[in-house]
Amino acid sequence: MESVQHIPIVDSEEKKIVSTKSSVAIIKFVIPLVAVTLIMIGSIFLIDHYSKVTQKGAPEDLTPFYIFFATLMALLAIIFVVNANLMKLVNIRTRELQAERDVLQSQNEEKTRLIGKSQTLERQLQKSLYDLKKAERSKDEFVAMITHELKAPVSPIKGYVDLLLSKNLGSLTDDQRHMIELIQSSSKSLIRLIQDLLDVQKTELGQLKLDKQKNYLSGIISSTVSKIQPDLEGKRISVKVILQNNPSCLCDEIRIEQVLTNLILNSMDFVPKENGEISITLISKNDMAEIIVKDNGTGIRNDDLEKLFVKFYQVDTSRTRERGGSGLGLSICKGIVENHGGKIWAESEGTGMGAEFHFTLPMLQSD
């Protein structure tokens, strides 16, 4: 249990009050003492002078002594008046300091109460946060398990569909082929969605395994572009590769191909159906290699740039539903790149101005 520390706000004011009371006591003692001392000195002086006059046996003018005595009495009167006023002021100031002390003490008690309450709330918040993270992790583990179980029955379906389309089991009518191709397309989409869910959960649980080896990025880019050529058939989209250098990185080739594929396919979905342009540029800056995927598509609003890599976030819902997107691709890219020690971000000058996706990877020192 944490101890509540009291704030010593009142101490300084209490010291002032104690000091004031001490001063009052001193004044009450010193002023009467001074007055009595003056009276005694004056009396002794008068008696001494009167004795001398008596011994001489001659009368003497006592006017100066009356004046001195009157002056002494007036001085004592002034002292007593000043003393009375001073005591009045001291009493007023003492009451003011006591009132201030009471206010400060009340404030101190209130602050102490609030501090204790805030500490209690902080402990409750920390516990709630811990419980939330625990529940989130349990959910992720459950989704990962279910997703893995879903993948098991879907893979054989795709395998048998591919076998039917290969004509090894006999020829198909046009209608049969069309229906089986629909099954094939749907099974591919489902397998990809399941794989995306698995990748997201592995990333969030810290279970994404990477087979890092020395790879030249130019080779990975060329291989990726070759593999997406079937997706470009029948589309008027040009893909241009610009290699300014050929750095090597310690990376998982399959995962970096996955990042590139996701970015290129994402651009293909948003470029014009006629005269669409996509470029992949490889450059190096300091100790980082940078790959840029640029398109002349619909562009991205500034408000959406920071949200692009959030799980399930979709910029254009209507377009995404039309092409069957899940909103997981860019989130997966972010997880893969960051697990390689790199960064990923998007740039766009706005709607209709196209977009650029950048990601970096640490280069090997030999480069």
> What confidence score (pLDDT) does residue 350 get?
84
Segment-wise mean pLDDT, segments of 10 residues, the chain, 367 residues: 44 52 56 59 59 54 62 69 74 86 88 87 86 75 69 78 80 85 81 80 81 94 90 82 92 95 91 89 93 92 85 62 66 93 93 92 82
Give the model's pLDDT for residue 218: 94
Q: Which of 247, 300, 243 is nearest to 270 (CA)?
A: 300
* pLDDT at position 49: 59
Residue 92's H or E segment, with its range, is: helix 63-165
pLDDT the model gives residue 58: 46
DSSP per-residue codes, 27-45: HHHHHHHHHHHHHHHHHHH
Q: What does the alpha-carbon distance between residue 360 and residue 343 come to, in Å, rounded to a whole number?
A: 5
Q: What is the pLDDT of residues 278-321, one digit of tens each?
A: 999 999 988 999 999 999 988 888 888 888 888 777 765 455 44
| Interatomic CA distance for residues 312 and 194, integer angstroms | 14
Tell me which residue has tokens 């008046």.
Answer: 81
Q: What is the rounded CA–CA span in Å between residue 65 and residue 91?
A: 38
Among candidate residues 278, 238, 244, the one with its CA nearest the CA of residue 260: 278
Strands 237-243 and 276-285: parallel
> Token pair of 20, please?
């004031």
Reduced to 3 states (helix: H, G, I; strand: E, B; else coil), residue 237 is strand
Q: Give the angle 122-126-129 at the CA atoms, nearest 5°.
A: 135
- From residue 284, give the alpha-carbon distance in Å to each of 54, 224, 242, 344: 121, 19, 12, 15
Token pair listed for 37:
């001392």
CATH topology (fold) of 213-362? Heat Shock Protein 90 (3.30.565)
Could you state, in order of their start, the residue ranges of all structural domains in the chain? 1-207, 213-362
Please give the torsion angle defined by the CA atoms of residues 14, 15, 17 and 19, in that order, rounded to the nearest 10 degrees: 170
Residue 8: per-residue pLDDT: 46
CA 210 – CA 225 distance, rounded (Å): 22
> Cβ(331)–Cβ(309) under 8 Å?
yes
pLDDT value of position 73:
66
pLDDT in tens, 66-105: 666 667 666 766 777 677 777 778 888 888 888 888 888 8
pLDDT tens-digit series, residues 219-243: 999 999 998 888 777 788 889 999 9
> Residue 3: what pLDDT?
45
